[in-house]
Amino acid sequence: MSQDQAGNACSKWAVLRKHPLFSDLAPEALDQLCRYARHTSLKRGATIFSKGDPGDNLFALISGTVKISISSSEGRNAILNLIGAGEMVGEIAVLTGKGRTADAIANTDCEILVIDRRDFLPFVRSQPALAMKFIELLCERLRHTSEQVEQLILLDLPGRLASALLHLTEGRKLNPGSRTIAITQQEIGEMVGMTRESINKQLRAWTAREWVRLEHGSIVVLDANPLRELAEDRSGSNKKQCARRW
């Protein structure tokens, strides 16, 4: 093995050891996974995969954010999630063997590890603890999807926006203390189903209260408590109203 190859292997080993899904693997299992993983860098805007593509690869995000979205034939976009460092992309299609369920695009410059499905599935079968972690991951994805549907049905704009900001700041794997969200107002509008103008108006009202700060291409959450109260109060109030109607 050359010096460059050895250095690359050590780098992948360190990255995988830090990744929450792989951190508990035994050293020999981690060595095996390193042999499967390929490191690559992507520029912002690069397409990782498109809806309907075969699920041939799994992607472990080292740095940056990936946008998971769908679009209509009329050109309307909906952002389903933003995946950050320490998370996985593409696990559903890899595990099921079916086509991709959405588009995945690098929302910032990204570094990722790519693992082929033909290598990964036998590896997971040999690692029961890792298989359980993937079950937990899929449950988290399902819970998030259910919450999104609930919010779209029950919450008004302030409640939906507050809930989305909290999800994006509190769901970090490798950097849980960061409250800076690399997202534009147009993108978060596509996430909560509102226009950019409505999002801008609400964010500016919260800026005046020092709940958030607007920066170029990002939003900084300064005080999560009033946002949490807003999301919970609106959710509880609307649930009671729906219950009374029925």
Model confidence pLDDT, tens digit, residues 202-220 = 999 999 999 999 998 889 9
- Please check whether residue 30 lies inside any domain of the structure: yes
Based on the fold, state whether residues 81 and 16 are members of the same structural domain.
yes
Task: Please state, in angstroms and rounded to a whole number, the distance separating the CA atoms of residues 95 and 98.
Answer: 8
Question: Both 120 and 225 in a single domain?
Answer: no
Please report the pLDDT score of residue 175 as a whole number. Answer: 62
Domain co-membership, 87 together with 118: yes
Over residues 172-187, the pLDDT tens digits come to: 655 666 788 888 999 9
Higher pLDDT among residues 130 and 11, named by residue: 130
* Boundary residue ending a domain (137, 166, 200): 137
Task: Count the domains in the chain.
Answer: 2
- What was the pLDDT predicted at 55? 93
- Asked whether residue 145 is domain-assigned, the answer is no
- Work out the pLDDT band at 121, boundaries 50, 70, 90: very high
Q: For 46-72, write each residue's pLDDT tens digit.
A: 999 999 999 999 999 988 999 999 988
Rounded to an integer, what is the distance from CA 192 to the centroid of its chain? 15
Q: What is the DSSP string of 190-233?
A: HHHT--HHHHHHHHHHHHHTTSEEEETTEEEES-HHHHHHHHHH
Q: First vs last Cα of the chain: how many Å apart?
A: 69
Among residues 80, 106, 137, the one where a domain terminates is 137
CA–CA separation, 134 and 102 (whole Å)? 19
Is 209 in contact with 120 (CB distance < 8 Å)?
Answer: no
| 109 and 178 housed in the same domain | no
- Any idea what the CATH number is for the domain that residue 68 is in? 2.60.120.10
Residue 177: what pLDDT? 61
> Is the predicted pLDDT of residue 246 greater than 50, yes or no?
no
Amino acid residing at 239: K
In a domain, 219, yes or no: yes
Ramachandran angles phi, psi of 192, nearest 5°: -105, 0
Q: Which pLDDT tens digit goes with each residue over 38-49?
A: 999 999 999 999
Q: Are 68 and 104 in contact (CB under 8 A)?
A: yes
**Tokens 């302030």 label which residue?**
158
- Report the C-alpha gap between 246 and 197 in whole angstroms: 34
Q: Final residue of a domain: which of 111, 137, 163?
A: 137
Question: What are the backbone angles phi and psi of residue 182, rounded to the nearest 5°?
Answer: -80, 85
pLDDT at 101 over 60: yes
Same structural domain, 29 and 86 = yes
Confirm whether 144 is domain-assigned.
no
The range of the structural domain enclosing residue 192 comes to: 155-245
